[in-house]
Amino acid sequence: MHLTRNRARDRTRLVLPTMTQRIFESNAHAFEFACEHLDCSLRNGQPVLGIVLALQGRMCSVKIAHRDDKTIPSGTLSELLSCTDLLNVCFSAMLAEKVPQLHVGDLVLYTTMPELVAANKPTVAGTIIAKVMPRYNTKGGWQVEAVQPPAAPDPNPSN
């Protein structure tokens, strides 16, 4: 009995993940990792990693991480819209209120309405809920970039 318990404990140790945190050299490497190793399904309502392709005000186009397609297209918004073979791209992702200013190539967390997922149209429209850094932790997910508070007004303005 004692021997069986130890073997079970040893087997448990073998299946525990050894990686707790990964820091990637680039946003592209982080995106590729997400495509290859993480559940990027929008079906369960969880946000997934995306990379910004184009911006227009508080709207952006985002390539959504997907196991079957880890390519990151490039080009202007017009060029991207004219591509007929793009998959897993949302051209109308709205930035949530607290998301800082984004730039092309930034990593973001993307989510969409459950109704669109159920209709198999998760890229029709979505929301960017956070800008993230290329750091992944198995316990906490992607590290969200801290929102910079607005500058405090100068208490002694010079006239």
- The string of pLDDT tens digits covering residues 113-136 is 888 888 888 888 899 999 999 999
Domain membership of residue 38 (yes or no) is yes
Residue 157 covered by a domain: no
Strongest mean pLDDT among 21-30, 42-51, 69-78: 21-30
**In the block, residue with structure tokens 């448990």:** 12
Flag whether 83 is in a domain. Answer: yes
Of 27, 12, 5, the closest CA to residue 131 belongs to 27
Whether residue 156 lies inside any domain: the answer is no
The pLDDT value recorded for residue 135 is 94
Q: What CATH number has the domain bearing residue 88?
A: 2.40.50.140
Min mean pLDDT across 40-44, 78-82, 105-109, 134-138 is at 40-44
pLDDT of residue 18 exceeding 60: no
Strand partners, 72: none
> Do residues 134 and 29 touch, judged by C-beta distance below 8 A?
yes
Candidates 104, 91, 90; CA nearest to 47 is 90
Total domains, the chain: 1
Q: Is residue 4 part of a domain?
A: no
Q: Which whole number is the average pLDDT over 90-115?
A: 93
Confidence of residue 6 (pLDDT cuts 50, 70, 90): very low
Query: Measuring CA to CA, which residue among 81, 130, 124 is closest to residue 106?
Result: 130
Residue 83: give the domain boundaries.
20-144
Q: What is the mean pLDDT of the chain?
A: 82
In a domain? residue 11: no
